[in-house]
Amino acid sequence: MSEDYDPKCRRCTRLARFLDAVHREEPQYFCRPVPPFGDLKAPLLIVGLAPGKHGANRTGRPFTGDHAGILLYETLHRYGLASSPQSTSRDDGLCLTGARITNAVKCLPPDNKPLPIEVRTCNEFLRAELKMSTDARVILALGLIAHTAVLRASDLTPGHFRFAHGAEHALSASRILVDSYHCSRYNTNTRRLTPQMFREVVSRAAKLAA
């Protein structure tokens, strides 16, 4: 596979059936694999987990319309990476500058928990995206699943790179992986991830990318 995104992908039977069920409940929702957002030539690639049911799965843009996107886009705007601090829909006019956002799993999983086989299946798309994103000097992984997915897509052994918030890993002579806790509602509500913690890691990733 050479393509980084397939809008008609139904390789994961469980996810395809779940999307069909959600679409019957919410026919106006996007309910398809969510494409990456931003310039393929951006020096900073942000990798999340998967679309949220009432967020990216509804709007068709990563981290748009859900709680996690509130902190993400506000932070990207703070550091000049987004034209607006709020992402509400695919046609809201928001643009990214020097950044691109994608997910380890392109389809909505039940309970926001993809199965290991689903992460591995979708890893082919991430692998293709990493190969196509030749200018991506820094990859910011939001959470352990994204961290592991990036390593596997880079043909690296996950066990050799320990996930930790703020950790930096040299994937090659020209590419660095930066880790962050995911900006989910759970992590921010429990203060495992504070806005300041997230701003610091995004600022660091942006500086490395620049």
**Residue 143, Ramachandran bin (φ over 0: left; ψ between -120 and 50: alpha; else beta):** left
The pLDDT of residue 1: 39
Give the residue among 83, 170, 180, 174 at the shortest CA–CA distance from 133.
174
pLDDT in tens, 9-26: 999 999 999 999 999 999
Task: Give the CATH number of domain 13-209.
Answer: 3.40.470.10
Q: How far apart are CA 41 and CA 54, in angstroms?
A: 29
Nearest to 124 by CA among 101, 153, 92, 87: 153
Helix axes 116-132, 144-153, angle to 10 degrees: 60
Does the pTM exceed 0.85? yes
| Ranges of the chain whose pLDDT falls below 50 | 1-2
Summarised one tens digit per residue, pLDDT across range 176-207 is 999 999 999 999 999 999 999 999 999 999 99
What pLDDT is stored for residue 3 in this prediction?
80
Per-residue pLDDT at 4: 80
